[in-house]
Structures are given as structure tokens and as C-alpha cells.
């Protein structure tokens, strides 16, 4: 990989590699700077590695270009040179939700409420546009400079018509829904919802609900929704109830996104933004600014009464 990337047929455009961000099965991602000082994430996919995967690369680009949402990584451009195809994307400067969970062990319920709202909003937007992600996981959810979530990596995504059921198993096994592992049944958007349940569990407990030693044991565990809640992590009954309702092995009985959003879990305190320190330590939510109180109210979170707001704004609590 050259230190400076020069797109074919664009003589006035170049990108200097600043940092390796990560490697995956579908390419390598770099932090780059263009000739006018703008910084982006650049995903490089080697042409020699395409093989039969050219259609998958084109599919990823076509789907990602269609998605414009505050909690989805922006794809700005696709170009190539003699050796690589490049995706120029929005830079998420605080790594991924996976890194945050690894650093912290587990997140607070207030943080999980905020992040679940953002995930549900983004996935709901995808599904409204007939797009199924098929690889929702901690590693594919990135953190912006303000610690907002951004869903990325659409390499396995697909568009569904009104009745179509996919039957080819794909994704990351610990996040796969039972119906993905049952080809005769097939799967639709409910499989993405199952993955959201796995993500919620991982955020709250710092571990995975399904994680047996061998793939065959893991598949059996998923098919039977055989998971437990760790006793050494304090999590509310309400949060556990929601996880159990999402991780229902019967896809027809699984909660919809709107039903998840209406669950009692979301009536708890919800921050409007997390401090950068949340990457390493749990935030202190004891101190809430006046603007944050009003933001809670306008976002329809019933966490304070009118009298409590008045006391906070005009007198000490």
C-alpha cells in the first residue's frame, strides 16, 4: 500500500495515509487526509482478492450510497487505482462499540438506553428502505467524535422485497438468529432485531449471551435461545425482560422495533450525549445541566416531573 493514494483519472486528488484503523475480511481501513486537509476513513479492497466477490463489493457500495442517516456511517465516494477499490467514508474517531465494551467491561443502563435508541432508529430506517444489514455486531458499530453511534460495514447487506425470505446463512455466528441457522425456514428483518438483542446483552454484561466452545455447541445454544444472565453484574429486571423478549427463538413472536422502543426499559433516565471519558469509565449522571433536562423533556423521556424541572431551574433540588 503506497503512503499516498492517487485515484485513477483524478490528477488533482490524493489521500495521504495517516493511520491504520483496522483490517477485516472485506478490506483494510485507514485514516487519510486529502490535499486540502480534510480527514476521512478510507476502506481499501484489493482487486486481486475480488475473485467471485466483485458483485458483493458493488452491492455494498450501492446499498451504502442509498443510506443517509445520522446513525449510519456516511459513504461519500468510491474510486480505484490500479490495485485497489476504495470507499471514502465518514471518519468515526473513537473506534467501535466493541472497543468501548472491552475497555469498560459493561455499560450503565442509562448509556445502553441512549445507544439502543440510536441503533433502533438507524435499523428502523434501513428496514423502511427494505435493507437488511445481516451483520450487526459490536465491531460494526462505530463511535463518532461525540460518542454517537454510527452503523457501518454493509458488506453482507441485502435488499428484500415484500415477501422474500433469505436462506443463505451469513453473518457472525454469535449474533445469528435461529432462523438464519435453519435454511428451510429462511429469514427476514427479524434476524437484525435478534442481533440487537445480542448487542444489548453484551453492552450490559460485558460478555456474549451465546459463546460455547465449539461451533456446533454454539448453534445448539442459539437454536434453543439457551442463555443466562450473569449473577455478578447488577442489571435491572426490566432490562433483562427486554433482552429475553428480543431473543425469542420464534421470529414471529419476537418484538418489533417499535415494540422494543415502547418497552418500559426506555422510561428510565437517558442522557442526550456521553462524555469522552465514557470510553474508559462510567459517566457520573448525578450532575445534569439545565439544557440536558430540557432535552430529556423534548425527547419525550418521562424521567422528571414538571415540578422537579421547575425546582431544578429556579431553585436547588
Q: What is the pLDDT of residue 140?
A: 96
Q: What is the pLDDT of residue 287?
A: 57
Q: What is the pLDDT of residue 212?
A: 75
Question: Among positive and negative, which fits the CA dihedral 115, 118, 124, 129?
Answer: negative
Sequence-separated (6 or more) residues with CB below 8 Å from residue 121: 69, 71
Q: What is the pLDDT of residue 286?
A: 65
C-alpha cell at 14: 490524493
Distance, CA of 303 to CA of 314 (rounded, Å): 18
Assess whether 77 carries a catalytic annotation: no
Distance, CA of 242 to CA of 238 (rounded, Å): 6
pTM (whole model) above 0.75: yes
Give the chain's domains with CATH numbers: 4-89 (3.30.200.20), 97-267 (1.10.510.10), 287-317 (no CATH)
Q: Which of 77, 83, 121, 135 is catalytic?
A: 135
Phi and psi at residue 70, to the nearest 5°? -60, -20
Distance set, CA 105 to CA 97, 229, 277 (Å): 12, 15, 14
Q: What is the pLDDT of residue 87?
A: 96
C-alpha cell at 124: 428502523
Map grid coordinates 442459539 to a residue: 222
- Gap between the terminal Cα atoms of the chain: 59
> DSSP class of residue 187?
B
CB 49 within 8 A of CB 37: no
Distance, CA of 26 to CA of 22 (rounded, Å): 11
Q: What is the pLDDT of residue 23?
A: 84
pLDDT tens-digit profile, the chain (317 residues)? 779 999 998 989 999 999 999 887 678 999 999 999 999 999 999 888 766 577 888 899 999 999 999 999 999 999 999 889 999 999 999 999 999 999 999 999 999 999 999 999 999 999 999 999 999 999 999 999 999 999 999 989 999 998 899 999 999 999 999 999 998 999 999 999 999 999 999 999 999 999 877 899 999 999 999 999 999 999 999 999 999 999 999 999 999 999 999 999 999 999 999 999 999 999 987 654 444 444 444 444 444 444 544 444 444 44
- The residue length of the chain stands at 317
Q: Is 240 annotated as a binding residue?
A: no
> DSSP class of residue 267?
G
Amino acid at each position: 500500500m503506497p503512503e499516498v493514494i492517487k485515484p485513477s483519472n483524478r490528477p488533482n486528488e490524493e489521500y495521504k495515509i495517516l493511520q491504520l484503523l483496522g483490517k477485516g475480511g472485506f478490506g483494510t481501513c485507514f485514516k487519510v487526509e486529502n490535499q486540502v486537509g480534510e480527514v476521512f476513513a478510507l476502506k481499501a479492497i484489493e482487486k486481486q482478492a475480488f475473485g467471485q466477490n466483485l458483485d458483493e463489493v458493488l452491492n455494498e457500495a450501492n446499498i451504502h450510497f442509498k443510506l443517509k442517516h445520522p446513525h449510519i456511517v456516511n459513504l461519500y465516494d468510491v474510486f480505484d487505482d490500479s490495485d485497489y477499490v476504495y470507499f471514502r467514508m465518514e471518519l468515526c474517531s473513537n473506534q467501535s462499540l466493541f472497543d468501548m465494551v472491552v475497555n469498560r467491561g459493561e455499560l450503565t443502563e442509562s448509556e445502553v438506553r441512549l445507544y439502543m435508541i440510536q441503533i433502533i432508529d438507524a435499523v428502523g430506517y434501513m428496514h423502511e428502505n427494505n435493507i437488511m444489514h445481516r451483520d450487526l455486531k459490536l465491531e460494526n458499530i462505530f463511535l463518532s467524535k461525540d460518542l454517537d453511534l454510527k452503523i457501518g460495514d454493509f458488506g453482507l447487506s441485502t435488499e428484500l422485497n415484500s415477501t422474500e425470505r433469505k436462506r443463505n446463512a451469513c453473518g457472525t455466528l454469535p449474533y445469528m438468529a435461529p432462523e438464519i441457522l435453519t435454511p428451510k425456514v429462511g429469514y427476514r428483518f427479524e434476524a437484525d432485531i435478534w442481533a440487537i438483542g445480542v448487542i444489548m446483552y453484551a453492552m450490559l454484561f460485558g460478555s456474549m449471551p451465546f459463546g460455547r466452545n465449539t461451533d456446533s455447541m454454539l448453534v445448539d445454544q442459539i437454536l434453543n435461545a439457551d442463555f443466562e444472565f450473569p449473577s455478578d453484574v447488577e442489571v435491572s429486571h426490566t432490562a433483562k425482560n427486554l433482552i429475553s423478549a428480543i431473543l425469542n427463538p420464534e421470529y414471529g413472536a419476537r418484538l418489533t422495533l417499535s415494540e422494543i422502543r415502547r418497552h418500559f426499559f426506555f422510561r428510565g433516565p437517558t442522557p442526550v450525549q456521553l462524555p469522552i471519558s465514557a470510553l474508559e469509565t462510567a459517566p457520573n449522571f448525578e450532575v445534569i445541566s439545565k439544557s440536558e433536562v430540557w432535552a430529556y423533556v423534548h425527547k419525550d423521556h418521562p424521567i422528571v416531573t414538571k415540578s422537579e424541572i421547575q425546582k431544578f431551574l429556579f431553585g436547588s433540588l
